[in-house]
Structure 1
Amino acid sequence: MLLQPKLNLRVSQRQVLTPGLVQMVSVLALNKLELKEMINAEVVENPVLEEIEENAQTYEEQAGREGDRELSAEQQQTETERVEKDPFDEIDMGEYFQEYLDPGFRVAGPSFEDVDAPSFENFLSKPSTLSDHLMWQIGSMSLRPELRAATEVIIGNLEENGYLLVSDEELASHDTRGIATPELLAEARAVIQSLDPTGVGAADLRECLLLQVQAGLREVEAAIVRARRHTLQTGEDESAQDLSPLPALEARRVQLKLACRIIVDHLLLLQKRDLRELMRLLASHADAVTSAIECIRQLDPRPGLRYNVSETRLIEPDVAFVKRGDDWTVVMNEEDLPALRLNSGYRKMMRQKETEREVKEYVKERYRSAIQLLRNIEQRKNTIVRTCECIVRRQGDFLERGVDAMRPMMIKEVAEEIGVHPSTVSRAVANKYVHTPQGVYELRFFFAEGVNGPEGGDLPLPLLKKKVRKLIDDEDPRKPLTDDALAAELQRQGIQVTRRTVAKYREDMNIPSTHQRRQRQ
C-alpha cells in the first residue's frame, strides 16, 4: 500500500491569549507598589510614554502656545496628500487620550543640562546572610584545601534555619572535585558546628539544642578551672561564698548537665510539658527540673534565622473605604503613581514625509504598546473599584462594627454581580490591601465561606476561628478542651460544626493539640 499526501481542511476553536490580554491579566494582579515598578520600567523602555511631572513647563507655554496652533493646523490637513492610507492614523488620540498627549517638549529648569547625581541607594550595603557569615569565619581559619572545600559544600547546603538536612551521599553528589569522603565530611561538619552561631550545622532540633548546651557547659567548666586557679594563686578560701564565683558556677554546671539529659533522653516529655514524669525519670526535685527547662527555653531552635533575615515587606493600601455622610465610598490610592501620557512629538515625526519607514514602524509599534498599557491600567482600576463597591455593599456591617458583624461572601457571588469571570475577581483582590475604619486588611480577607450559625444564618470562617481561639485561651491549662469538647461547645452556641472542622481550623491557627497544651504539675 502506497502512502499518498493529502490535503485536509479542519475547522477548530482555540483559546489564544494575545500579548495585550496577557498584559491585562498581569497588570490586574499587581498591587500598587508592583504597578509603580512596572510603570517605571515601561517608561524607561518605551520612549512614547512619559510621566507628567508637577510644575513642569513646556516650550509652548513659554512661547504663547504657538506649538498648539501649529499642531491644530497639521490636524486640519487633508489626507489626500498621502499616497497610502494608514489605518493607524485613524485613531482619534485627541478624543480618547487627550489627557496623555504631550503639548511639547519639557523644560526641567533654567538649564537644559541635567547632571545625574549618584543615588545614595547605590551605597547601601547588602545584608549579610548566614552563608556570608560562615564563609567569613572560614576565611580566617587555617584549613587544608580539601577540608576548606568540604566546608564550603556543607555551607552551600545549609537550610535557612541553619540545619544540615542532606545526607553524605547528597553532599558528595554536589562536590564537583570528588574529594568529599565520609571522613572528610564529618571533619568539615565538626568545623561548621564550632562556628558562630552555635547550633548551626545540626541535623535536627535535638542536636541543635545539644550543641548549644554543650558549648555553654564547656564555657562554665573553663570558668570553674580559672576560678580555682585564681583561688590557689591568691590563697583564698573556696568556702567564702560571698566572694568566690565557684558556687554559682557549680550550680550552673549542674543545671546544664540536667538540661543535656533532658534533651538527649526526654525531649518528647519536654514537648508534652510532663513535669511529673521528668522528675521521676531524672530522680530530681521540681526546682532543679524547672531550672533546667528554663535553660532550654532560652536556647535558639533556629540559629540560622539570626543572619538569614528576610526583608521587611512593605504594605501600602491600594484602596480605602471612606464614609461620606451615610454612604461608604471606594477611594483608590493613586498617590505616588506616575501619571502617564503619550508624547505627541513622535506623532509629528510619523506625519513627516522625510521620516524613514523603519522609524515610522517602530514608533507605531511603541504607540500601540503604550495605548494598550494605558487601557490595561484603566481596566485594572475599574475592576478593582467595582469589586470593592460590591464588598462595601455586602460588608457594611463589618465596616461599622468590626469582625463580629462580618458576613460570608464568595468570589463567585461577586463575579456574578459585576459580570466578570471569578478568576478576574481573584486577581483583582490578590496581594492588595484596603484601609478601613477597622484597620488595614487584605482584600481576600472579606471572601470566606460560612458555616451554619445561630438563628439559621451563616457564620464566616474568620469569626469561627476567633471563637475557637477564645475558647482555647479561656481553658484550664491542666485540663485543656479536646476538639470534641470545642465542637460541642460551639454547637451549644448554635454553630453547627464537626470535630474534624474544629481540628482543621485549630491547625490552621498553629494551635497545639490537647495533649501538647496540657500542663502537668
Structure 2
Amino acid sequence: SRVELEEMVLKELEENPALEEGASEETTENAEQLRPEVPAGPPEEVPELVVNREVSTVEKIGTLDWQEYLDTHANAIHGPLSAEAISDDSDSPPSWENSLTKKTTLEDHLVWQLRLSKITEKESSIGLYIIQNLDENGYLGVSLEEICSATGSMPEEAEAVLKRIQFFDPVGVAARDLRECLLIQLENLQLSGSLAARIVADHLTFLESKRYEKLAKDLNVSIDEIAQAAHVIASLEPKPSRGYEQDEVRTVLPDVFVEKVGDEYLIYLNDDGVPRLRVSSLYRRMAGQEGAAEEQARQYLQEKVRAATWLIKSIQQRQQTLFRVTQSIFKFQQEFLEHGVSHLKPMVLRDVAEDIHMHESTVSRATANKYVHTPQGLFELKFFFQSGLKTGNGEDVASESVKDKIRTIIAAEDPRKPYSDQHIASMLSTDSITIARRTVAKYREAMGILPSSKRRQPLLRR
C-alpha cells in the first residue's frame, strides 16, 4: 500500500547514504517522474522475481561487473524508466512490495483467486480443500490420494485443480516439494527447457554443496553458464507463503484517486508523503573510481549505490503497473463510477491482464492491499473483480450488484412480514436476474443479514 511505500522509502533514506531526497539535477523538468503518464504502447511483461536470501551458496557464485552495471544504468537512475530498462536487470533484488508484510493471509489471497476462476462447483470444492491444507511455507500438506478421498474426485480431476492453483499468485504455491516449487516458477517464466531447469530437476544438491566444477562437467557447460543459471535459481522464491502473515490493522489510505473532470475520469497516483528520490552523484562517482578507496570501502559504496538504484527502479515499476491496472479496471467498470455498486459488471483477472498485456499474477500483485478513492467512495481494487450471474436477456450481472439489490429489497421490506429467500429470488427475476434460493441465502449470509425468521419484528400492542 501507499503507507507501506512511504515507510520503506523513509527507512531507506535513513539507512542508505547513497540515496537522496529530491529531483535529479539532470532531469529537473521531469519532476513528475514518479507519476507515470499513460504508456504509448503495452510494455513487455516484467516478471517479478523473489530473491531467496537464505540460499547463500547460490548468491555467492559470480559477481557483476560493477562498472558495466553503472554504465548501463547511469541514465536510468536519474530519469523516467522504460519497461525495457526495468526488465533488463536480471540480477536485481525483488520488487520492494514482496518484502512487505501483507494484511491478508495466503489462504484469503488464494481463495479470492479461486472464486474468480471459471471452474465448476466440484473443482471449487477440490481447490478449497487444497488451499486449506497448505503448510506454513505454502507447500501442499496432503497427498493426491487424500485430496481424492476427501473430495470424492478422480486423481486426474484433483491434479488439474492443483496445477491451476500452483500458477496462482504467488506462483509455486501448493507445490509438493522445493524441486516442484522452483520448476513451476521456471515454467511460468517460460524457462522450462533452460539450464536452470535442468539443474533444479536433477542437480540441485550440487549447488547446495558448492560442487560447481563437477556440475559444469556433468552438464557439459562452462562455469560462467552455471553462474548465470545459479543467479536465475537464486531469484526464485522457495517459500511461497513468505510475507502473507497477518499484520496489525492500519488506517486505510487510497493508493489511487479517480476523479471526474468535465466528462472524463482522470486517474492520479497518491504519492503524497513519498519523497522523490535520486542516487547521490558523489557516491556514484566514488563507487566507480578504481583505487579511490580501500577495496572494502569501495565495495560498500557499490552496494549502497546498487540498492538505491534498485529502489528507484522498483518504485517506478510499481507506479507504472498500478496506473495501467487501475486504468484498465475502470475502462470495464465505468458505469460503476457513474451509478454505483448496482452497475458493477462481472470481471476477472484475465480481462485486465489481456487488456494491458500482463500476466494474471502481475495484476493480482498490483491490486493486493491497494485502495482507490472514487466518486462512489473508497474501495479495495480487488473489489472490482466480480463473478457474475446470467440475466434473462443473456447479459451478465456482477455478484456484488446482485448483493446490492438484495440489500435494497430487504431494507424496504415490512419488518412484520420480511421476505423469504425464495420470495427475494422471485423479485429479482422481475429484473431478469435468474438466481436460486440457496444463492440468495449465500449472498445474504455473506452480507451478515439474518434469515426472514429472525428479521421478523412483533406487532406492538397498544
TM-score (norm 1): 0.45
1:327 aligns with 2:264: yes
8 Å contact kept, 2:342–2:404: no
The CA deviation at 1:483 is: 1.4
1:346 aligns with 2:283: yes
The CA deviation at 1:366 is: 1.8
8 Å contact kept, 2:77–2:312: no
Partner of 2:349: 411
SS in 2 for 1:456: coil
8 Å contact kept, 2:421–2:440: yes
8 Å contact kept, 2:341–2:404: no
Range that drifts further, 412-421 or 374-383? 412-421
Q: Which of 1 and 2 has greater Rg? A: 1
Partner of 2:401: 463
The CA deviation at 1:86 is: 5.2
1:48 aligns with 2:28: no
SS in 1 for 2:338: helix
Distance 1:456 1:472 in 2: 26
8 Å contact kept, 2:342–2:405: no
Matches within 5 A, 1:94-109: 94-99=74-79
SS in 2 for 1:480: coil
Distance 1:439 1:431 in 2: 16
8 Å contact kept, 1:410–1:447: yes
Matches within 5 A, 1:26-425: 31-52=1-22, 87-88=67-68, 90-99=70-79, 313-350=250-287, 351=289, 353-425=291-363
Distance 2:322 2:73 in 1: 26
Partner of 1:244: none
Distance 1:476 1:89 in 2: 72
SS in 1 for 2:379: strand
8 Å contact kept, 1:49–1:342: yes
Residue identity opposite 1:41 in structure 2: K
Distance 2:312 2:339 in 1: 39
Per-residue Cα deviation, 1:71-114 (whole angstroms, up to 9, x for no partner)? xxxxxxxxxxxxxx8544652444222259xxxxxxxxxxxxxx
Q: What count of residue pairs does the alignment treat as equivalent?
A: 253
| Larger RCO (alpha carbons 8 Å, 6+ apart) | 2
Per-residue Cα deviation, 1:435-479 (whole angstroms, up to 9, x for no partner)? 222222221222111111253211112221111112222223232
Distance 2:271 2:66 in 1: 36
1:481 aligns with 2:419: yes
Per-residue Cα deviation, 1:378-408 (whole angstroms, up to 9, x for no partner)? 1111111110111121122222232333222
SS in 2 for 1:465: helix
Partner of 1:438: 376
Distance 2:292 2:302 in 1: 16
8 Å contact kept, 1:487–1:502: yes
8 Å contact kept, 2:386–2:399: yes
Distance 2:327 2:371 in 1: 14
Partner of 2:439: 501
Distance 2:12 2:67 in 1: 25
TM-score (norm 2): 0.51
SS in 1 for 2:265: strand
Distance 1:93 1:420 in 2: 24
**Which runs of 5 or more structure 1 residues have no equivalent in the other structure?**
1-30, 55-84, 101-309
8 Å contact kept, 1:39–1:338: yes
Q: State the identity as a percent.
A: 41
SS in 2 for 1:431: coil
8 Å contact kept, 1:88–1:364: no
Partner of 1:511: 449
The CA deviation at 1:324 is: 4.1
8 Å contact kept, 2:346–2:398: yes
Describe the shift of the 1:485–1:94 C-alpha distance in structure 2 as closer, same or farther (beyond 3 A).
same
Distance 1:485 1:89 in 2: 68
Per-residue Cα deviation, 1:393-426 (whole angstroms, up to 9, x for no partner)? 1122222232333222111211122122222212
Distance 1:318 1:86 in 2: 35
Partner of 2:52: none
Residue identity opposite 1:374 in structure 2: I
**Which runs of 5 or more structure 2 residues have no equivalent in the other structure?**
25-64, 81-246
Distance 1:89 1:380 in 2: 22
8 Å contact kept, 1:99–1:341: no
Per-residue Cα deviation, 1:262-314 (whole angstroms, up to 9, x for no partner)? xxxxxxxxxxxxxxxxxxxxxxxxxxxxxxxxxxxxxxxxxxxxxxxx99842
The CA deviation at 1:355 is: 0.2
The CA deviation at 1:328 is: 2.6
SS in 1 for 2:393: helix
